[in-house]
Amino acid sequence: MKAVVYQGPNKITLQEMPKPSLLEGSDAIVRITKTTICGTDMAILKGGVETVDAGRIIGHEGVGIVESVGSGVRRFKPGDPVIISCITSCGSCENCRRGLPSSCVDGGWILGNTIDGCQAEYVRVPFADNGLYKIPESISEEVALMLSDIVPTGLEVGVMNGDVQFGDVVAVVGAGPVGLAAVLAVQFFSPAEVIVVDIDEHRLDLAKQVGATVTINNKNNDAVAQILELTNGRGVDVAIEAAGHPLTCKVVQEIVGVGGRIANIGVYSQSAELHKESLWVKNITIRMGVVNTTTIPLLIKTIQSGKLDPSRLITHRFPFAEALLAYDIFANAGREQAVKLILNMDKASVIEAKVYQEDELVNLIVQHVMAQAK
Ligand SMILES: [Zn+2]
Ligand SMILES: [Zn+2]
């Protein structure tokens, strides 16, 4: 089967790999129909995730059809259309039973990290009864794919950890896929204002379309002053950090008001300062973490009822054969106006899969940009 394989810092290949097989009774093999690239995959590509070894199939977000199940799988059978959670959980270890499957001692975020992942024609999903969710007929595969990681992450780690209340003033700092997912999810709680900060005008436009009431371009580094002015010096009730950078970490600390909450979603590859000397007196709560994806069933219901539409985060679609081109486009997300890219695993695109040379990639990108311009 074809798969995207990490080959060490700054090198991935689209290549032939052995098809996975059932190893445990609780496993399922899923034939991937759609997968996508996450910011975390870009961090892996840059060599920023030490647990990922060369030779690993990457990707932790996917939807597909169950191909086979182990003897212990009760809830799924071959032919079922499923969402694959980015979190693997045994359901019985101490952390799983405490409601923290993201810290499962036999799981957590392992797909496309310490075990082979979803950017492949087939993937082995351990503890399938806990890690798979059936896709109802009324929900498209593309929309379902947004529930593998980004929408639950925006909701659980941003909005719910931020304890957003009716009438709150909320700021989301960083309008990448997960920041925008938080903007979508925060609408469930009827905040008074949703202020979104980024330096990319296209992403700020999209933020407006999915529910931001105010957008601020921080290219001049004056977002803090603008937010304090907007709130009459009071600051915001909830500051959601969704970029994982020391600068955005500083911004959320400076805009949070008395009794406010900081919810950190961003993944940091370097340390960031925490200014307790100015925060302590304001009675601030700070939370951070990894998504548990326990909200997937609720999100499925809200999509079915028409209250949530994550399809608006999808900007690009590629056949799987062009996976490396998609990586290039995602790496230049600002220039390419890319948010969430879908990789379609239809048969034709897999057969044509090939490894591109540098100049071929440049040509493909030019063609792609021209096509988008039309
Ligand atoms: Zn992801
Ligand atoms: Zn567990």
pLDDT at residue number 353: 44
Cβ contacts of residue 236 below 8 Å, gap of 6+? Answer: 168, 169, 170, 171, 195, 227, 255, 256, 257, 260
Ligand number nearest to the C-alpha of 102 = 2
Least confident of 27-31, 97-101, 366-370: 366-370
Ligand number nearest to the C-alpha of 98 = 2
pLDDT at residue number 77: 98
Q: At what angle do helices 223-230 and 246-255 cross, to 10 degrees?
A: 20
- What is the CA(37)–ligand 1 centre distance, in A? 7
Give per-residue pLDDT as tens, 116-137: 999 999 999 999 999 999 999 9
153-288 fold: Rossmann fold (3.40.50)
Structure token digits, residue 62 = 């996917």
- What is the CA(150)–ligand 1 centre distance, in A? 6
Residue 346 scores a pLDDT above 80: no
Give per-residue pLDDT as tens, 73-83: 999 999 999 99
Domain-by-domain residue ranges, the chain?
Answer: 2-149+294-373, 153-288
Residue 54 scores a pLDDT above 50: yes
Least confident of 22-26, 247-251, 265-269: 265-269
- What is the CA(322)–ligand 2 centre distance, in A? 36
pLDDT at residue number 356: 53
The mean of the pLDDT values for the chain is 93
Residue 368 scores a pLDDT above 70: no
Ligand number nearest to the C-alpha of 153 = 1
Give per-residue pLDDT as tens, 232-245: 999 999 999 999 99
- What is the CA(103)–ligand 2 centre distance, in A? 7
- What is the CA(297)–ligand 2 centre distance, in A? 19
Confidence of residue 358 (pLDDT cuts 50, 70, 90): low
pTM, to two decimals:
0.91
- What is the CA(94)–ligand 2 centre distance, in A? 7
- What is the CA(101)–ligand 1 centre distance, in A? 16
Please spell the DSSP secondary structure of 182-225, one letter per residue: HHHHHGGG--SEEEEEES-HHHHHHHHHTT-SEEEEGGGS-HHH
Task: Please give the Cα distance from 41 to 118 (Å, whole number).
Answer: 11
- What is the CA(99)–ligand 2 centre distance, in A? 9
Tell whether domain 2-149+294-373 is in CATH 3.90.180.10. yes
pLDDT at residue number 369: 66
Report residue 112 CA to chain centroid gap: 13
pLDDT at residue number 333: 87
Confidence of residue 267 (pLDDT cuts 50, 70, 90): confident
- What is the CA(26)–ligand 2 centre distance, in A? 13
Ligand number nearest to the C-alpha of 85 = 1
Please spell the DSSP secondary structure of 49-87, one letter per residue: -TTPPTTEE----EEEEEEEE-TT--S--TT-EEEEPS-
